[in-house]
Structure 1
Amino acid sequence: MTVKNGERKMGNQVLLQPISMGAWKLRNRIAMAPMTRTFADDQTGVVGPDVVEYYRKRAADGVGLIITEGIVISPRAKGTKGVPGLFTMEQIEGWKKVTEAVHQAGGVIVAQIWHVGRLSHHEIAGGLPPQAPSALRAEGHVHRLGKPYDTPEEMSLADIQEVIQQYVQAARHARMAGFDGVEIHGAHGYLIDQFHSDTSNHRQDKYGGDLRQRLTFMKEVTKAVIAEVGADRTIMRFSALKDDQREYMWEDPVAAVQTFVEAFKEAGLTMLHPSTMNFDQVIAEGKTLHELVREYWDGSIIGVGNLSPARAEQAVQDGIMDVAAFGRPFLANPDLVSRVTQGEDLVAYNGREHLQVLV
């Protein structure tokens, strides 16, 4: 089955042009979005040759930017079986093979660094209860484990500083492994986003309060990571979407986006990756998430959300975003860039067929 993308009619003159973003000279404006694949060794968190080939193949086809699957920053950051890590030398050595293969193919690759917070279970998180801003259990079940989420342990001030340093260490390890930079996962109801939300953060100290105050943890993490690898090698992913609260939306999206963007600027960021399931979903005042972000942000924006190449081309031309990220289409089309370049239809993503296919 194929998906018609309309390229024969309109072409992709802008989408296929090179762009300088941060420290990187990208060969086009197409990015591979982060997708949890759970193909690392579950005991060690080390990636193997199949993961190397998975990323190498997309790089060899010409994708401009690859953002990896989420890579956990500590044993306690883990929220499902089979996810990779960046906290041991063995894990670093495994990732070196990936980055070398991507670079040999002419690609740019950044590591998405990740802590799931309360969306975990002690059987996965190193025998310890999950960490969270407050001791409030999430609704739902742990991916692949099938058990209800554990009640988390509220993080002490010392815990918070320790986790900030784990983010810094992960960023340092990413550079040691040959990554070109990092993306901080601050979205989807995971640890950083748990600090953002009043449904998961009931703290009374400087990390709690109104949204502006709840963004303190994110700013501290970001400033520390930027100090380690540079603002020109650091992306922030953020979203209203939450893995455990599928219908969640900010009460006042316009005010929320303004507050987030102000905090991102204070933290020193220059590149954002707003995340939504539907790029064209209107959330306030007739505007989409990316349109609202662009209204207040003049830095780089990576757009994502069930994009077609034709829609991505138009959004880049309109200045809504600078780079278009594709997720599931890259699972079904390792040759996505070639197909877009040649004006060919994309193979439609099929969950049963493509979910477990790594390469």
Structure 2
Amino acid sequence: MHMQKIPEKLLKPSRIGAWDLRSRVVMSPMTRSFADNETGVVGQDVVNYYQKRAADGVGLIITEGIIISPRAKGTTGVPGLYTREQINAWRNVTNAVHEVGGTIVAQLWHVGRLSHHELTGGYPSQAPSAIRVDGLVHRLRKPYDMPEEMTIEDIEDVIAQFATAAKNAMEAGFDGVEIHGAHGYLIDQFTYKLANHRTDQYGGDLRQRLTFMKKVLKAVISKVGADRKIIRFSELKDENPSYKWEHPEDAVQTYIDVFHETGVKIIHPSTNDFTQEITNGKTFHQLVRKYWDGVVIGVGNLNPSTVEPALTDGTIDLAAFGRPLLANPDFVHRVSEGWRLREYDTFQHLHVLT
């Protein structure tokens, strides 16, 4: 069997926020669409899926995106955390993860304008401004709807829904939550001037457009505490792959100023390529570290050996893996033994929950 160099830093236990983690390996949030499509309730297959990774020694599991309301839904088969039945079903997952010594947080999600009325119970999608997205809805394969511009009351309702979902997550036994503020979904739509033409307190320059994110973060922290909360943010927009920040360093500095204002302690900067330079010879995560001395989760097509220098030099504190953990439920064991990882198979791992 082909042997790889063992990444010692990656496999070391770590105290992060409120959590004592068995390794610095993080399971990335990955949409699987295996919940009941009508009820948003997860079943035993999802219990087994997460327990298997926890039993292997993954330090921190971040779940697939969990929607905070029916109008937050952007594809079929996604789970929720807004009904009693959903909360009870997730408790089966968290109990199973804790039984084997794991730590699991719920990623809370609202897709905003990237949706369709057939997914939201007949309601129009919600967005900062009534600007339609070109393209087709994930899995449904129908054109995106024209979204409804959110009123101030709508915005306050959604902030409250994030807070309630966070409270529900704790009731379901999660160890904390991650807020999905990246990839062109609702929170990110407010930050994104192509999606946000507002002239009120939620529009304007980037700092002003971050007002919605800031209010969501404060509301969630009031329910779970700053040491049990992660924010995921990114330059990336799923519906606009060519989008780039005009001034990356200014943008990063503005986001981090807002994070400091909210009391956030753990951030998850998201990129497709961890090694890609975005400005002045620095990668996204290096630029983030320049302005942020709290916890950073690294992600972006990582592999166990190449991530070791970034952990050692302090660019990141934890390393998140996606497809390698789908293909290798025994990922941590394989890495600790120096064994070669199995290759990800799109068909097998997209359509089967293992």
For Structure 1 versus Structure 2, the TM-score category normalised by the shorter chain is: over 0.9
1:163 alignment partner, one of 158, 161, 164: 158
Structure 2 segments unaligned to the other structure (5+ residues)? none
In 2, Cα distance between equivalents of 1:200 and 1:93: 36
1:174 alignment partner, one of 169, 175, 179: 169
Q: Which residue identity does 1:155 align to in structure 2?
A: M
Flag as ranges the 4+ runs of structure 1 deviating above 2 A: none
1:357 deviates by 1.9
2:243 alignment partner, one of 248, 262, 285: 248
Q: What is the aligned partner in structure 1 of residue 4 from structure 2? A: 7
1:353 deviates by 2.5
In 2, Cα distance between equivalents of 1:201 and 1:220: 17
What does residue range 1-40 of structure 1 map to in structure 2 within 5 Å? Answer: 7-8=4-5, 11-40=6-35
Q: Give per-residue Cα distances to partners, 1:210-267, cap 9 Å, x unaligned.
A: 0000000000000010011100000000001111001111011011000011011111
Q: Give per-residue Cα distances to partners, 1:56-107, cap 9 Å, x unaligned.
A: 0000111000000000000000000000000000000110000000000100
What does residue range 1-359 of structure 1 map to in structure 2 within 5 Å? Answer: 7-8=4-5, 11-359=6-354
In 2, Cα distance between equivalents of 1:73 and 1:249: 28
In 1, Cα distance between equivalents of 2:14 and 2:334: 20
In 1, Cα distance between equivalents of 2:113 and 2:177: 23
Q: Which residue identity does 1:149 align to in structure 2?
A: Y
Aligned to 2:315, the other structure's residue is in SS state coil
Paired residue total? 354
- Higher deviation after alignment, 285-294 or 343-352: 343-352
Aligned to 2:11, the other structure's residue is in SS state coil
- Higher deviation after alignment, 346-355 or 189-198: 346-355
Identity of aligned pairs, percent?
A: 64
In 2, Cα distance between equivalents of 1:312 and 1:238: 20
* TM-score normalised by L of structure 2: 0.99
RMSD between aligned alpha carbons? 1.0
1:7 deviates by 3.2
Could you tell me whether the CA contact under 8 Å between 1:187 and 1:240 is conserved in 2?
Answer: yes
Aligned to 2:9, the other structure's residue is in SS state coil
- Higher deviation after alignment, 311-320 or 112-121: 311-320
In 1, Cα distance between equivalents of 2:150 and 2:334: 48
Aligned to 1:347, the other structure's residue is in SS state coil
In 1, Cα distance between equivalents of 2:262 and 2:120: 29
In 2, Cα distance between equivalents of 1:92 and 1:313: 37
Structure 1 segments unaligned to the other structure (5+ residues)? none
Aligned to 1:238, the other structure's residue is in SS state strand
